[in-house]
């Protein structure tokens, strides 16, 4: 059985015990940007954050892309999120390739070049790249300066979260 068929069968069973209050308006307090890697699927649980409290935005490599900003506009300006946590992790697949090597990899597999994606956001240093994502969001004109933005690296070997927020990244609050 495919996993999708498995999911459909499970849904039929689980929907019978569904809590209808889930349809109420969401009220997240925090937005978490992290990797799509399945090894961090339990991140909320590990951080003791209730699912209802977090908008979780994921993509490969924890990149603060245009589309992440698009999601954050709803988190911040519609739903009331006041904190953003960026959580990269050790051993990410994005460390395996350079931009050029990954484009070549796909070209070898497909035989064509394509106009998009323009960038894959490959990197070699998870600490530096996570700091960069903090600063990218920090400098965005549509993210108010009183929104806290902090960066972390989750170590898959130890289970520990290491803060890498650049100095002064949250000192921009107007007084």
Please, what is the minimum distance in Å from the beta carbon of residue 78 to Zn ion?
28
The secondary structure of residue 15, as a DSSP letter, is: G
129 binds Zn ion (CB under 5 A): no
Site size with Zn ion, rule: CB under 5 A: 3
Strands (E), the chain: 30-35, 54-59, 83-89, 148-154, 161-163
Helices and strands, counts by H and E, the chain: 5, 5
Please, what is the minimum distance in Å from the beta carbon of residue 35 to Zn ion?
3
Looking at residues 56 to 95 of the shown chain, list those that interact with Zn ion (rule: CB under 5 A). Answer: 92
Please, what is the minimum distance in Å from the beta carbon of residue 95 to Zn ion?
8
Given the rule CB under 5 A, which of 5-13, 31-39, 77-85, 130-138 is the region that contacts Zn ion? 31-39
Nearer to Zn ion (CB atom), residue 87 or residue 147: 87
148 C-beta neighbours (distance < 10 Å), count: 13
35 binds Zn ion (CB under 5 A): yes
Residue 35 in 3-state DSSP?
Answer: strand
Cis omega (within 30 of 0) for bond into 117: yes
Nearer to Zn ion (CB atom), residue 79 or residue 161: 161
Please, what is the minimum distance in Å from the beta carbon of residue 63 to Zn ion?
10
37 binds Zn ion (CB under 5 A): yes
Helix axes 126-138, 66-77, angle to 10 degrees: 50
Which residues of this chain interact with Zn ion, rule CB under 5 A?
A: 35, 37, 92
């Amino acid at each position: 059985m495919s996993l999708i068929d498995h999911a459909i069968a499970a849904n039929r069973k689980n929907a019978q015990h569904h809590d209808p209050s889930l349809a109420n308006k969401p009220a997240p307090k925090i937005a978490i940007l992290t990797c799509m890697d399945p090894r961090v699927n339990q991140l909320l649980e590990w951080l003791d954050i209730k699912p209802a409290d977090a908008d979780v935005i994921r993509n490969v490599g924890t990149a603060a892309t245009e589309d992440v900003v698009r999601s954050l506009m709803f988190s911040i300006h519609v739903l009331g999120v006041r904190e953003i946590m960026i959580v990269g992790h050790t051993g990410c697949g994005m460390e395996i390739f350079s931009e050029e090597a990954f484009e070549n990899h796909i070209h070898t597999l497909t035989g064509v070049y394509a106009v998009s994606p323009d960038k894959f956001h490959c990197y070699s240093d998870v600490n530096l790249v996570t700091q960069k994502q903090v600063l990218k969001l920090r400098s965005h004109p549509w993210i108010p300066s009183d929104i806290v933005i902090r960066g972390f690296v989750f170590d898959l070997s130890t289970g520990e979260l290491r803060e890498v927020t650049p100095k002064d990244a949250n000192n921009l609050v107007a007084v």
